[in-house]
């Protein structure tokens, strides 16, 4: 099981403005899990704080993460904050 940030946030703060995501996008997270040899991946750091324009998350995170994981044969886990992550796959 790999635990990976998936929000692909675009950050814009005083004195700093990113032109690319500063954390993994859903698809990049799945590729990282594949590179690590993980058979399951748990999405972290998403849908907790979205405050445009300073901190803007990617759209459709859950759907994109799930689709990319299934395409790679990786079991996706999207849990809510504080929810137990099943470790049986």
Is 88 part of a structural domain of the chain? no
Is 89 part of a structural domain of the chain? no
Is 27 part of a structural domain of the chain? yes
Is 84 part of a structural domain of the chain? no
- Count: domains in the chain: 1
Provide the CA 77 distance to its chain's centre, in angstroms.
10
Question: Where does the chain show beta strands of DSSP type E?
Answer: 2-5, 10-13, 16-17, 40-44, 55-56, 75-78
Is 86 part of a structural domain of the chain? no
Is 87 part of a structural domain of the chain? no
Q: What pLDDT digit, counting tens, does each position of 30-83 carry? A: 999 999 999 999 999 898 888 998 999 999 999 999 999 999 999 999 998 888
What domain range is 63 assigned to? 2-78
* Residue closest to 21 by CA, chosen among 7, 32, 35, 10: 10
Is 13 part of a structural domain of the chain? yes
Helix (H, G, I), strand (E, B) or coil at 70: helix
Q: What pTM was estimated for this model as a whole?
A: 0.90
Q: What pLDDT digit, counting tens, does each position of 9-26 carry? A: 999 999 999 889 999 999
């Amino acid at each position: 099981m790999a635990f990976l940030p998936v929000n692909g946030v675009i950050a814009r703060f005083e004195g700093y403005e990113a032109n690319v995501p500063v954390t993994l996008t859903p698809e990049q997270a799945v590729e990282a899990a594949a590179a690590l040899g993980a058979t399951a991946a748990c999405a972290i750091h998403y849908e907790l704080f979205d405050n445009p324009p300073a901190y803007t998350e990617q759209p459709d995170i859950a759907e994109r993460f799930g689709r990319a994981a299934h395409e790679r044969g990786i079991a996706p886990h999207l849990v809510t904050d504080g929810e137990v992550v099943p470790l049986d796959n």
